[in-house]
Amino acid sequence: MALDEIKNTRFEKLKAIQKTGVNPYPQSTKRTQKIEDALKDFSKLSKSEKEVILAGRIMSKREHGGSTFCHIKDDSGQVQVYSKKDRLGEKSYQIFLNNFDIGDFIEARGILFKTKRGEKTLLVSDFKMLAKSLLPLPEKWHGLQDVEERFRKRYLDLMTNEEVYQKFELRSKIIAEIRNYLEKEEFLEVETPILQLLPGGARAKPFKTHLNALGLDLYLRVAPELYLKRLLIGGFEKVYEIGRCFRNEGMDWAHNPDFTMLELYWAYKDYKDLMKFIERMFGSLIKKVFGNQIIKYEGRKIDFKTPWQRIEFSSLIQKYTKIRIEDLSRDYLAKKAGVFGLEIEKNENKGKIADEIFKKVCLPKIWQPTFVIHHPLELSPLAKALDNNYFLAARFQLIAAGWELVNGFSELNDAFEQRKRFEEEERERTGGDEEAQRFDRDFIEALEYGMPPAAGLGIGIDRLVALLTDSHSLREVILFPIMRPR
């Protein structure tokens, strides 16, 4: 039967229910407990023959003579319900049989018992429609066989795919454990603006919007960094934010236009302190969620037992490409990049070219948790340089299974140096680099009041969840990812 025909048939059933004087979309239910709780107390409830009222969506329905077996499901579990004509009465039983479908939400009152096959079952003495569904569940039509349809209609994906449902439960648990850990470490959770006069805190192309009330062009934030640093200036020493960020860039398995980021700033610490902190935090998180330090991703083991390897950015490039980036000019490095199929734009500096080579060649080869350290300073306009090498940043990235999970560095707190960096970024932007940092005069002024030495980091929550749930794309762990319309 075509989808339109099914919808019309169900609409007729809806009208038939209404003709009996029953509201098929009542305001409330008298549910006494969740299905999971009823099954846990099954022995006690079945012996006492105490009536319970359960509610949920009909997931299956089969008629057998003068009786009908269904399974109903809520967010805690599923149970079989058994309706008999001689118990409900001819009229009520026919209303149920003729007008209730798979997908409907119902309330069922009755006593619990075990069938001859040993299945825990609710023997129904009364029922009530809670919400009539007008469209069938996905098994009855072809739409959800399309992988992209799962993302467009995530509610159907959750409804019919238990693994997906559990994955998003696990996502919430991971975020909750991160918050718990940071709270125990006495970090203060804060909120900073999503609408900003200037996009800053990361090299990224922003989304632009307009505020009618003030006649202002605004940007959706690409990162909360510059506002969180203002809080260090204001006197807070340990702050973090978990929130959405927006970057108007390409989309692939590891990138989405809007994503969830955790950013954390810690006064009187440096990037080395943060590497040790991340080892402790991830160790605690993975142990609590999975019970041990080893997980599997794409069939391969990842061991989060600490300490993790620390390796120089330039050493990794030399290891996998035989290129010593410090010995090459910008133009010669660009030619080398072409060997790996990379197209280098004229405005890209040497550090950006090296980073493109790193992402293309080195990143996929890093499987076990590894800190990549000391990137070219050109990539990090907000980071301090190493004390013994001005051309390298006091920075790290945590890589595992080819995912960049964490980026952190010692924060630049020299207002004169930050001004110089912003001016260079503006020159690059004028030259065509749409990802270059903007010159933020307000932030420079804030720095002139003095910011304590500090270290900060960002954690891509979606990427971390993808890794920990063995997912192969960010779209698998974002409930409603951006999709091109049909």
pLDDT at 271 over 50: yes
Eight-state DSSP code of residue 252: B
Q: In which band, very low, low, confident or very high, does the pLDDT at 145 lie, cut at 50, 70 and 90? A: low
Cα 282 to Cα 310: distance, rounded to the nearest angstrom: 16
Residue 103 has pLDDT above 70, yes or no: yes
Of 161, 169, 170, give the one whose Cα is nearest residue 73.
Answer: 161
The pLDDT, as a whole number, for residue 143 is 45
In tens, the pLDDT along 390-427 reads 999 999 999 999 999 999 999 999 999 999 999 999 98
Q: Which helix (H) or strand (E) holds 440?
A: none
Percent of the chain having pLDDT more than 90? 87
In this prediction, what percent of the chain has a pLDDT beyond 70? 99
> What are the tokens at 263?
């950013």
Round to whole Å and give the CA distance between 451 and 11: 65
Is residue 243 pLDDT above 80, yes or no? yes
Confidence of residue 144 (pLDDT cuts 50, 70, 90): low
Domain ranges (residues) in the chain: 3-141, 157-308+368-476
Q: What are the residue ranges of helices labelled H in 342-431? A: 350-357, 415-430
Q: Select the CATH number that applies to the domain covering 3-141 from these four: 2.130.10.10, 3.30.950.10, 2.40.50.140, 2.170.130.10.
A: 2.40.50.140
Using the predicted structure, report yes or no on whether residue 269 has a pLDDT greater than 50: yes
Rg for the chain (alpha carbons), in Å?
29
Nearest by Cα to 395 from 330, 313, 281: 313
What pLDDT is attached to residue 141?
A: 45
- Asked if residue 195 has pLDDT above 90, the reply is yes
pLDDT in tens, 36-65: 999 999 999 999 999 999 999 999 999 988
Mean pLDDT over 302-316 rounds to 96
Strand, helix or coil at 413? coil
Kindly indicate the confidence band of residue 73, based on its pLDDT and cuts at 50, 70 and 90. very high
Calculate mean pLDDT across residues 109-118: 95
Whether residue 193 is preceded by a cis peptide bond, meaning omega within 30 degrees of 0, is: no
Could you give the CA distance from residue 351 to residue 45 in angstroms, rounded to a whole number? Answer: 69
* pLDDT tens by residue, 198-237: 999 998 999 999 999 999 999 999 999 999 999 999 999 9
pTM metric for this prediction: 0.92
pLDDT reading at 432 higher than 90: no
Helix and strand numbers, DSSP H then E, in the chain: 16, 20
Q: Which CATH number fits domain 157-308+368-476: 3.50.30.60, 3.30.930.10, 3.20.20.140, 1.10.1240.10?
A: 3.30.930.10
